[in-house]
A and B are shown apart, each in its own frame.
Chain A
Amino acid sequence: MGADPATFLRIEGITRRFGQVAAVDAVDIDVARGETLCLLGPSGCGKSTLLRTIAGLEAPDSGRILIDGEDVTALPPHRRPVNMMFQSYALFPHMSVRRNIAFGLERQRLARAAIAERVDEMLALASLEALADRRPHQLSGGQRQRVALARALARHPRVLLLDEPLAALDRQLRERTRTELAAILERVGVTCVLVTHDQEEALTLADRIAVMRQGRVAQIGTPSEIYDEPADRAVAELFGTLNLFPATARNGGLHCASLGLSLAAGTDHADAATVAIRPERLRILAGDEHCDHEVQAHVERNEFLGAARLLLLRLPDGATMRLLTDPRTRAEPGNDVRVGFDAHAVRVLTQ
């Protein structure tokens, strides 16, 4: 493995076993300076264990953690230049907001004035000035989240760890807080590893996403790469509903009966594969419109979703297909329509 000069945090072959089960299984990830990497996956996929390993709260069975070239694997949590925002926020209930934020600075034996100055800076950053003397239980969920973030940022961590930063908030608050969080992270410019099971959170906050499954990294890439070019069916299914059709090998290429579609070979796909198309990549074609590929479909249901319209279509061979389109589209159930899609909208997936 050649050391990429841009790499700031290097996770090298980290394995963490609990009994027989490897919660994290030989994971390698490089994170660039200032980058926000998101570990995405269902609960139990090992993403939190990996995060805790970076923080030093879990000791790996093998592998190394390097920060800016320095091996920190053996360092206990209190000597690592990383700070974490816990899922429960883990605010100290017996301390005011100010004391919570000052806690980490006090451990560094900074001068009192320097601590006060940095705390004020953090309070301003997280818009908490008016709440500085409150206790955690006197704050709303969103305010607590900001205290936890300010507390974790106060020590100028070289890597900031966020464990499900928005999971403790209710749905309505989550979106607004997410925007605030993104703004703060951008302003501070800290290298950041974030754990979430929420794909929307991952897509909006991350520079790169590492999709984790059963302790391993299934795919790593930018949000648009992960969304548009999923490595396999499971990764694809993480992000929204997907139309999947079986395809078989024929004449050295692949043939999908449902869409009446033949694809050239040249890929390493074996004799059977799945063809995937996202619902929003399908279009209903007007009389004279044409597309790379076209297929006839029968409208079964028409659901108005507010911002969009979802059509449930039946294809000539009996397979169903979802199509997401403009809410003004007219397609009454019972009618036949012509559906078109571009060549690059089609993905061939293994498994």
Chain B
Amino acid sequence: MTVRARGPARFGFVTAVCFGYAFLYVPIVLLVLYSFNDSRLVTVWGGFSTRWYVALFENETLLRAALRSLQVAVISASLATVVGLAAGLALVRLSGIRRALLMACFGSLLVMPDVLIGLSMLLLFVNLDQLVGWPGRGLTTVALAHLTFASAYVAVVVRARLLQADASIEEAARDLGARPGQAFWLVTVPLIRPALISGWLLAFTLSLDDLVVASFVSGPGSSTLPMVIYSSVRLGVTPEVNALATLLILAVTLGIISAGLINRWVRRSEG
């Protein structure tokens, strides 16, 4: 760090950075604080209380939705990892028109607005249902839709890791008598395991987090957690949601830290 601003420029710079991080974290921190507020009002600190957590665990609608969301997230993340792994490999190894097509599809999925994905998925499911009587509208369709957009994120992570990896390792496996499929399963997949783990976690979080796509494709009685949160939030601030948010943030933070530790452990044991 030799190129450094001095004086007022430096001060302004530091202020901007601090403001940026404050901007990112103040809302989250306040949310956590107020989940322990005894008062229903946001502005008033009514003393420390865990009553909203108690209320949360008595709210059957929320709990059932949470369970549904977890189910969908686990299934769609696992399948998205499979599709994303195949896509990541294809993106690195294919060439020509097929590669360009895949790039365009997965690249667009990453940034496409949710309403667009949601509506087109729904129309697809409705038409499929008309044609073959499957998949109806419910948790299956939510999982299928989530798996589709989450696989794009997995593909990005897998592709980055594959590009980083030493290509001659897979060649060595082939040279030592492994068929292409064997080389892939025995050597390449273990090699990119960290990417698969973080890809799965990413897909899991995205599924757990999605409101818009799920709203389009879910059916009656299959409201996911974000859908239930959304309808209660639209009615105003509810401290129970604060408590739920705090638990989610805790879960995600723990998840990221453990993923980081796993990654570091894997890297240390493999050099």
Q: Do chains A and B touch in the complex (CB under 8 A)?
A: yes
Contact surface of A with B, Cβ cutoff 8 Å: 55-57, 76-79, 82-84, 86-88, 90-94, 103-104, 107-108, 135-138, 151-152, 155
In the complex, A57 Cα to B171 Cα: how many Å? 7
A sample of 17 inter-chain contacts (CB < 8 A) reads A55-B175, A56-B174, A77-B171, A84-B175, A90-B168, A90-B169, A91-B169, A92-B169, A92-B173, A94-B190, A94-B193, A103-B173, A135-B271, A137-B270, A137-B271, A152-B176, A155-B177
For residue B259, CB closer than 8 A to chain A, the reply is no
Q: In the complex, how many angstroms separate the beta carbon of A298 from the nearest chain B beta carbon?
A: 51
In contact, B177 and A92 (Cβ under 8 angstroms): no
CB-CB < 8 A to A57: which residues of B? Answer: 171, 174-175
CB-CB < 8 A to A78: which residues of B? Answer: 174-180, 183
Across the interface, name the chain B residue whose C-beta is closest to A82. B175
Across the interface, name the chain B residue whose C-beta is closest to A154. B176
In contact, A94 and B270 (Cβ under 8 angstroms): yes
In the complex, A287 Cα to B182 Cα: how many Å? 75
CB-CB < 8 A to B90: which residues of A? Answer: none
In contact, B172 and A135 (Cβ under 8 angstroms): no
Q: List B150-177 residues whose CB lies under 8 Å from chain A.
A: 166, 168-169, 171-177
In contact, A151 and B176 (Cβ under 8 angstroms): yes
In the complex, A108 Cα to B182 Cα: how many Å? 12
For residue B213, CB closer than 8 A to chain A, the reply is no
Q: Which bucket holds chain B's interface residue count?
A: 20 to 34
In contact, B175 and A83 (Cβ under 8 angstroms): yes
Interface residues as binary, B241-271 with A (CB distance below 8 Å gives 1, 0 otherwise): 0000000000000000000000000000111
Q: A84-B172, A88-B168, A94-B191 are in contact. Are A107 and B270 (CB under 8 A)?
A: no
In the complex, A136 Cα to B271 Cα: how many Å? 7
CB-CB < 8 A to A88: which residues of B? Answer: 166, 168
In contact, A135 and B171 (Cβ under 8 angstroms): no
Q: In the complex, how many angstroms separate the beta carbon of A36 from the nearest chain B beta carbon?
A: 19
Across the interface, name the chain A residue whose C-beta is closest to B170. A90
CB-CB < 8 A to B173: which residues of A? Answer: 92, 103
For A76, A84, A92, A152, the residue with the greatest tally of chain B CB atoms inside 10 Å of its CB is: A92
Q: A88-B168, A90-B169 are in contact. Are A104 and B176 (CB under 8 A)?
A: yes
For residue B102, CB closer than 8 A to chain A, the reply is no
CB-CB < 8 A to B175: which residues of A? Answer: 55-57, 77-78, 82-84, 152
In contact, A135 and B176 (Cβ under 8 angstroms): no
For residue B117, CB closer than 8 A to chain A, the reply is no
CB-CB < 8 A to A86: which residues of B? Answer: 168, 171-172
In the complex, A82 Cα to B183 Cα: how many Å? 17
CB-CB < 8 A to B171: which residues of A? Answer: 57, 77, 86, 90
CB-CB < 8 A to A104: which residues of B? Answer: 176-177
CB-CB < 8 A to B187: which residues of A? Answer: 92
Q: In the complex, how many angstroms separate the beta carbon of B228 from the nearest chain A beta carbon?
A: 43
In contact, B168 and A135 (Cβ under 8 angstroms): no
In the complex, A103 Cα to B193 Cα: how many Å? 19
CB-CB < 8 A to B183: which residues of A? Answer: 78
Across the interface, name the chain B residue whose C-beta is closest to A148. B172
